[in-house]
Amino acid sequence: MSKKIRVGVAGYGTIGQRLADGVAMQGDMELVGIADLAPTLSIRALAERDMIGANNVEYKLYLVDGADKGQFDALGIPTAGSFEDLCKSVDIMLDSAPGGVGAKNKLIYEKLGVKAIFQGGEKNSVADVFFHGYANFEKGVGANYLKLTSCNTTGLIRSVDALDRAIGIEKVAITIIRRVADPGDYHRGLTNALQMEKAPSHQALDLMTIMPHVNATGILVHTPVTHGHIITVVATAKDGKKITREQALEVFQKHPRIRVVSIDEGFKGNASLFKYARDLGNRRGDMYEIAIWEDSIVESGNDIMYAINIPQESVTIPETIDGIRAATQMQTTREAGTAETNKYLGIGKFKK
Amino acid sequence: MSKKIRVGVAGYGTIGQRLADGVAMQGDMELVGIADLAPTLSIRALAERDMIGANNVEYKLYLVDGADKGQFDALGIPTAGSFEDLCKSVDIMLDSAPGGVGAKNKLIYEKLGVKAIFQGGEKNSVADVFFHGYANFEKGVGANYLKLTSCNTTGLIRSVDALDRAIGIEKVAITIIRRVADPGDYHRGLTNALQMEKAPSHQALDLMTIMPHVNATGILVHTPVTHGHIITVVATAKDGKKITREQALEVFQKHPRIRVVSIDEGFKGNASLFKYARDLGNRRGDMYEIAIWEDSIVESGNDIMYAINIPQESVTIPETIDGIRAATQMQTTREAGTAETNKYLGIGKFKK
Amino acid sequence: MSKKIRVGVAGYGTIGQRLADGVAMQGDMELVGIADLAPTLSIRALAERDMIGANNVEYKLYLVDGADKGQFDALGIPTAGSFEDLCKSVDIMLDSAPGGVGAKNKLIYEKLGVKAIFQGGEKNSVADVFFHGYANFEKGVGANYLKLTSCNTTGLIRSVDALDRAIGIEKVAITIIRRVADPGDYHRGLTNALQMEKAPSHQALDLMTIMPHVNATGILVHTPVTHGHIITVVATAKDGKKITREQALEVFQKHPRIRVVSIDEGFKGNASLFKYARDLGNRRGDMYEIAIWEDSIVESGNDIMYAINIPQESVTIPETIDGIRAATQMQTTREAGTAETNKYLGIGKFKK
Amino acid sequence: MSKKIRVGVAGYGTIGQRLADGVAMQGDMELVGIADLAPTLSIRALAERDMIGANNVEYKLYLVDGADKGQFDALGIPTAGSFEDLCKSVDIMLDSAPGGVGAKNKLIYEKLGVKAIFQGGEKNSVADVFFHGYANFEKGVGANYLKLTSCNTTGLIRSVDALDRAIGIEKVAITIIRRVADPGDYHRGLTNALQMEKAPSHQALDLMTIMPHVNATGILVHTPVTHGHIITVVATAKDGKKITREQALEVFQKHPRIRVVSIDEGFKGNASLFKYARDLGNRRGDMYEIAIWEDSIVESGNDIMYAINIPQESVTIPETIDGIRAATQMQTTREAGTAETNKYLGIGKFKK
């Protein structure tokens, strides 16, 4: 591809920052700019680094409607234009605006004829395709509006789709041990309590939207931690077939976006993976891969049970990049699209 | 029964205090005394109340080998004799000494010909029968040495045994979201992390020891909270039968030691149940019943999935009292034994 | 006093429940009833106990404006009348309605000529006197409307007032390590973060309102725990006088509502005191006394520094009862009033 | 200085990794290598990055006595020699081995005539000088063995030394709200409790060792969080002088290693600073500066009170680099030494 696909990011929050980083790392994409409303701490941090982000790329800041440019000027934060200016300069927008704002932004995207990918906070109806890079890449090819699965669903589907392609899956029952806040959050906290949500969890329902041939249900429990959801999965194969521990392990070990880890190596829990990503020197201490504990995989009769770690801040980035490739037809197959994303994000290099 | 069964308690820790309370509440039992080593805060609290415990019963304190009586005297804490003095005056000892000490105490019990019930911290080999009041009461009848299931296993079995007797259960896959410390603990803490244990969890293995016809496995995750474990269960009926939500709900609603609760009522999580027990005016804020969330019960194909709350400090007390009844043959059937325990502990009064 | 003072409680939340308990324990007071809006878990727990509360007293339930009596009927919860019915039957109302509601309730109190005591959530202007049982009892004598200091301020003032009366205090600088939620709360949580509030903290300002001759300032930090605030105090004596460790310790040891504790005894932190109150068999596991760690008291030049534990759920109950005594002139001096409150609440019995 | 100072790091744990990073960023130093015992997760992460660390520098791994080289070989982790090999190739060792090991390592350093800087876990007697880059740089000039102050003391002294040089400080009373574990720790946790330590805290005593003309005392409380200690300081000037809020603020704003932040900007607590460092793109999400909240600074009579955030993982790195400069006489004054360290670490660039 000789000409780079031009990408903009709406909303520079927890996800938006990481989308910008992810795009900046793609050799065949150009990050045209980011858009936001106020000089948040994340914007200030960017300005303290002279607007230079991942891969030494400059993140040009555009202001959305309602922003007070004077506030940015007073703080010496350079701006590059309006939200519409940004939209006019790109092939596709990654919309990580707060929940509900994406639907309003879509009117602008439609007006300007720009494609867009929405994050999990928007309603499914905002998009033509509810998308997952590995599970239904082909559905997104050439589409104008995609919506990504949420963090838990994205990670969960990686593992279930992999088992399904290798063995054939009929049913999953999941327990989501949900981290309740991100590091730096003060508003969604929980203190010394496990909080229930009504079953079935939306992640199970979302999985069935992406993988309609699988019966899924689940229970979600909020826990007072910030580093990584843990999901346990009980998966049943089609036609009463048995799934062995060895089969499941082999499937997981082959997947570029799954790290198979063990307690004995030192991966004692979700905080180990957060620490490991920092020790890797990854920007923001991010991790794109989910982890599956080798020593959590057990057979339950013919079923297989295992536990996944979901790095909630960054796990959806690769599949969103996949979405850019599908929607703009940079690649038109799952294999080709995900491989390019992985290459530029450095995913799978840990595999032998 | 004209003569009361005489009971002693070894170890006045988190469990021992509650065993003493439970015995003190039984109209057909006499709490002869408690035994401990040092003037812990729990002993000091008892002394501040002039050694008067539950049901206005005096808790006489006996000192185990190695205790320094001078320490107690200096604090004005009255003592009643030695550990052997206590053992000689009882029909049965409830041993809640720290893990491993029970095995040593057993030598004394054997020497003096006194029965004993051990808690979950001891090895199974310390006892003749691994016991659960509802699941295998009859096995404990007349036995000399029982060992109780641990808190999670006790609560879990209540629900699985109930389903099994009503419907027939072949298999369970459990996820234990384990509270990591009790209120007041400083030594077992976990901060902002979910910690994995190698699967299968011991609770699944223990369930199979008590209910050998059920295939059980599970994954345990430690969470940084102190009020109540939460367990999710995926249960499969025998012979490919379907378990409906209504069937499961009915089974749970009938069980005296299960509270069916809902999020809409205000039971948002494990801390609600802790608070509710305090609001009930229960001594120490204890709860003997497990809770199952009505809005967690979902069908997974033919299987049923649900979530349990386990009040870890007090859940094993009723089954231990059942054990006294079985071992001393006060009652010889599950129905009669558990009914007497429930009556004196006030269990089931919340049922309509 | 031959005739008992008749007391009502508006709002049966965390504080209201404990006010009702406190009144029920006073031999010279009659708890006429409690008032609330909805069948909360606390009301359901009371109903499960057949409306019998502390000291075997029946808590009659009155419904405030806007309550749906049908909801209570459907749950079998007996009600006794309207909020005005309750107000008409009492000498004084303890208002622990949610913040802001007290000001509206006051209109009713004024109309019916009933005295009232408001809790810390209301504005000071709601009351004639901002009250503390030990610091300014006499100001409350005969007053119609009192407002109690909040939990932190109540406990803090106990210690500062005691030092002031014994030695003379000119200045305090406090650091409040605030527990962020109560056990059972899901809405005020904080996860893995310490949150700052702008200085000076309101507790320092409130102290100066009650003790205007003392200069007070302070910094408040929220911490993700539920059992007991901890406050450190740096206190400066008048006229450059030195306060010795021994002097301070003696003052604290003499105060009936202060427990002097130590790490060596086993009081390792705030959770030890929560556990100790449960082990005492106190209703709801409540503690009326603050604790001061003997091994936290250190000299800083001429100043004295020490750390207090504040049991936030129950600490204001004794001073509120003092307020009833003052407002209704049951007693007219600090010494007589607080002594009666202490006697009925069992406070100070732990003193040698 | 034409020739680079050669530096080795013993122990690649939380501090050791960051010391290596810090040295790798110094244009006038060469990181010869790091030494460790086992293929920890941190070593594995380094190996996954082909042993390339900060500033694109290769971190050569040397094995300490007792290491099993076969383990490293099996994992494909390259090693470069023995601990003595490393020591022989450097001018100075930064010793961040586990507490107590440094004293043993010192025998090797002495034998080989290599200088060393020890971290806070070692006893003061291991070193000739207890060192702080800003407070006593000159004492370290030419010394063979330095010991760094611990993380809390390092950050605390930055602020007290700054006030002292500008105004003259006689006395400080501190309250340390201590984070109990680092992200990734499972062994030092605390759950829903604030834990007391006996006063005075060692940090106050350490401050007096470095600044003997200041009277310091303090109380330390452990809190269940992982991101940054918070310390409140009450500082008294010499000779009864008043310290105004404006004076203190100006002093803090001028210091290169202090960030003055505010709640209004979005710095709500310690987790905001952790997040900000990640958003800056700093390696491992580290922060070298302490932060002082502008809106925490209040006058207490003539005293000044304020709150500091201490990024415990990385705060001692700059002062340790200062120590290299002092010990090896790269610079011989506080001003020159700290300025070079700051330049290479990018410290102070946020200042206007």
Secondary structure letter of residue C38 according to DSSP: S
Give the Cα separation of D182 and A140 in Å (integer). 42
For residue D261, give the chain C residue with the closest CA. Answer: C196
Are residues C195 and D268, on separate chains, in Cβ contact within 8 Å? Answer: yes
Residue C50's contacts (CB-CB under 8 Å, 6 or more residues apart) are none
Give the Cα separation of D287 and C265 in Å (integer). 39
Mean of pLDDT values over A274-302: 98
Give SS3 for C107.
helix
Give the Cα separation of A8 and A64 in Å (integer). 13
**What superfamily does domain B5-148+316-345 belong to in CATH?**
NAD(P)-binding Rossmann-like Domain (3.40.50.720)
* Whole-number Cα distances in Å, C11 to B292, C15, C34: 29, 8, 7
The per-residue pLDDT for range C208-224, each reduced to its tens digit, is 999 999 999 999 999 99
Cα within 13 Å of Cα(C49), Cβ side:
22
Give residue for tokens 């809106």.
D295
Give the Cα separation of D312 and D14 in Å (integer). 10
Residue C10's contacts (CB-CB under 8 Å, 6 or more residues apart) are C16, C34, C35, C64, C83, C86, C93, C94, C95, C96, C97, C102, C105
Catalytic residue among D116, D135, D151, D173: D151
- Asked whether A114 and A130 are in contact (CB, 8 A), the reply is no
Secondary structure letter of residue A227 according to DSSP: S
The fold adopted by the segment(s) B151-310 is: Dihydrodipicolinate Reductase; domain 2 (3.30.360)
Predicted local distance difference test score (pLDDT) of residue B352: 57
Which residues of C form the catalytic set?
Answer: 151
Cα–Cα nearest to C273, from C320, C308, C232: C308
- Asked whether B172 and B247 are in contact (CB, 8 A), the reply is no
- Asked whether B148 and B316 are in contact (CB, 8 A), the reply is yes
Predicted local distance difference test score (pLDDT) of residue C1: 47
Per CB distance under 8 Å, which residues of A are interface residues toward C?
Answer: 180-181, 183-186, 188-193, 195, 224-226
Chains in contact with D via at least 3 Cβ–Cβ pairs below 8 Å? A, B, C
Transcribe C121-143 into DSSP letters: TS-GGGSSEEE-TTTSHHHHTT-
Interface confidence (ipTM) of the complex: 0.96
Contacting residues of A for D267, CB less than 8 Å apart: 41
Cα–Cα nearest to B42, from B96, B84, B94: B96
How distant is the Cα of D225 from the closest Cα of chain A, in angstroms?
A: 10
Residue B2's contacts (CB-CB under 8 Å, 6 or more residues apart) are none
Secondary-structure breakdown of chain A: helix, strand, coil percentages, each rounded to the nearest 5? 35, 25, 40
Contacting residues of D for C239, CB less than 8 Å apart: none
Whether B87 is catalytic is no
How distant is the Cα of C302 from the closest Cα of chain D, in angstroms?
A: 10
β-strand pairing of C290-293 with C258-261: parallel
- Asked whether C86 and C7 are in contact (CB, 8 A), the reply is no
Give SS3 for C260.
strand
Which residue from B236, B267, B271 is facing A192, i.e. has the nearest CB? B271
Predicted local distance difference test score (pLDDT) of residue D66: 95
Predicted local distance difference test score (pLDDT) of residue C351: 74
How distant is the Cα of B201 from the closest Cα of chain A, in angstroms?
A: 9
Which residue from A193, A227, A303 is facing B193, i.e. has the nearest CB? A227
pLDDT < 50 stretches in chain B: 1
Give chain B's radius of gyration (CA, Å).
20
Scanning chain D, the segments in alpha helix (DSSP H) are: 14-24, 41-48, 69-74, 83-88, 101-112, 137-140, 151-166, 202-210, 245-254, 270-279, 316-327, 334-345
The per-residue pLDDT for range A173-213, each reduced to its tens digit, is 999 999 999 999 999 899 999 999 999 999 999 999 999 99
Consecutive H or E run containing C220? strand C215-223
Are residues A196 and B297, on separate chains, in Cβ contact within 8 Å? Answer: no
Are residues C185 and A195, on separate chains, in Cβ contact within 8 Å? Answer: no
- Asked whether B177 and A232 are in contact (CB, 8 A), the reply is no
Each domain of chain C, given as residue ranges in start order, spans 5-149+316-345, 151-310
Cα–Cα nearest to C116, from C332, C333, C312, C326: C326
How distant is the Cα of B190 from the closest Cα of chain D, in angstroms?
A: 4
Chains in contact with B via at least 3 Cβ–Cβ pairs below 8 Å? A, C, D
Per CB distance under 8 Å, which residues of C are interface residues toward A?
Answer: 180-181, 183-186, 188-193, 195, 224-226
How distant is the Cα of A180 from the closest Cα of chain C, in angstroms?
A: 8
Determine the residue type at B306. Answer: Y
Count of C-D CB contacts under 8 Å: 159
Q: What is the mean pLDDT of each run of 10 residues along chain D (352 residues)?
A: 88 98 98 98 97 98 97 97 98 94 96 95 92 98 97 98 98 98 94 98 97 98 97 97 98 98 97 98 97 98 98 98 98 98 92 66
Beginning with the edge strand found earlier in the chain, give each strand of the sheet holding A115-118 in spatial order.
Answer: A81-82, A61-63, A29-36, A5-10, A92-95, A115-118, A145-148, A129-131
Q: Best interface-test mutation with A: which of D279, D350, D351 has the largest number of A CBs within 10 A? A: D279
End-to-end CA distance of chain B: 29
Contacting residues of A for D283, CB less than 8 Å apart: 281
Cα within 13 Å of Cα(D150), Cβ side:
17
Give residue for tokens 């029920």.
C24
Which residues of A form the catalytic set?
Answer: 151
Percent of chain A with pLDDT over 70: 99
B330: alpha, beta or left? (left if phi > 0; alpha if psi -120 to 50): alpha
Give residue for tokens 């507790």.
C203
For residue D223, give the chain B residue with the closest CA. Answer: B191
The per-residue pLDDT for range A328-337, each reduced to its tens digit, is 999 999 999 9
For the beta carbon of residue A276, count every other beta carbon within 10 angstroms.
Answer: 24
Which residue from A175, A234, A268 is facing B195, i.e. has the nearest CB? A268
Give the Cα separation of B189 and B61 in Å (integer). 30
Which residue from B184, B274, B349 is facing C272, i.e. has the nearest CB? B184
Give the Cα separation of D153 and D310 in Å (integer). 9
For residue B178, give the chain A residue with the closest CA. Answer: A194
Could you confirm whether domain D5-149+316-345 is CATH 3.40.50.1820? no
Give the Cα separation of A297 and D249 in Å (integer). 56
Secondary structure letter of residue A239 according to DSSP: G
- Asked whether A284 and A16 are in contact (CB, 8 A), the reply is no
Give the Cα separation of D143 and D329 in Å (integer). 9
Consecutive H or E run containing A270? helix A270-279
Which residue from C199, C301, C307 is facing D219, i.e. has the nearest CB? C307
Q: Best interface-test mutation with D: which of A17, A25, A278 has the largest number of D CBs within 10 A? A: A278
Give residue for tokens 């102050």.
D149
* Whole-number Cα distances in Å, C184 to A191, B183, B272, D266: 9, 13, 5, 29
pTM higher than 0.95 for the full model? yes
Q: Best interface-test mutation with C: which of B42, B284, B313 has the largest number of C CBs within 10 A? A: B284
Are residues A227 and B173, on separate chains, in Cβ contact within 8 Å? Answer: no
Tokens of A343: 């290459």
Q: Best interface-test mutation with D: which of A36, A48, A279 has the largest number of D CBs within 10 A? A: A279
Residue A50's contacts (CB-CB under 8 Å, 6 or more residues apart) are none
How distant is the Cα of B348 from the closest Cα of chain C, in angstroms?
A: 11
Q: Best interface-test mutation with A: which of C179, C187, C192 has the largest number of A CBs within 10 A? A: C192
Per CB distance under 8 Å, which residues of A are interface residues toward D?
Answer: 17, 40-42, 44-46, 48-49, 53-54, 183-186, 191-192, 227, 265-269, 271-272, 274-276, 278-281, 283-285, 349-350
Determine the residue type at B30. Answer: E
Are residues A191 and C189, on separate chains, in Cβ contact within 8 Å? Answer: yes
Are residues A41 and D267, on separate chains, in Cβ contact within 8 Å? Answer: yes
Determine the residue type at C182. Answer: D
What are the phi and psi torsion angles at D303 (to 5°)? -80, 165
Q: Is C34 exposed, middle or buried (0-12, 13-18, 19+ CB in 10 A)?
A: buried
Alpha-carbon dihedral sign for residues C16, C19, C25, C28: negative
The residues facing C233 across adjacent strands are: C174, C306
Topology alike, domains A5-149+316-345 and A151-310: no
Mean of pLDDT values over A1-30: 95
pLDDT < 70 stretches in chain C: 1-2, 352
Q: How many helices (H) and strands (E) are present in chain A, helices listed first? A: 12, 16
How distant is the Cα of A262 from the closest Cα of chain C, in angstroms?
A: 25
Cα–Cα nearest to D337, from D139, D95, D182: D139
Count of A-B CB contacts under 8 Å: 159
Give the Cα separation of A198 and A194 in Å (integer). 13
Are residues A279 and D349, on separate chains, in Cβ contact within 8 Å? Answer: no
For residue D191, give the chain B residue with the closest CA. Answer: B189
Give the Cα separation of B133 and B148 in Å (integer). 9
How distant is the Cα of C303 from the closest Cα of chain A, in angstroms?
A: 35
Give the Cα separation of B226 and D76 in Å (integer). 42
CA–centroid distance for A291 within its chain = 14
End-to-end CA distance of chain C: 29
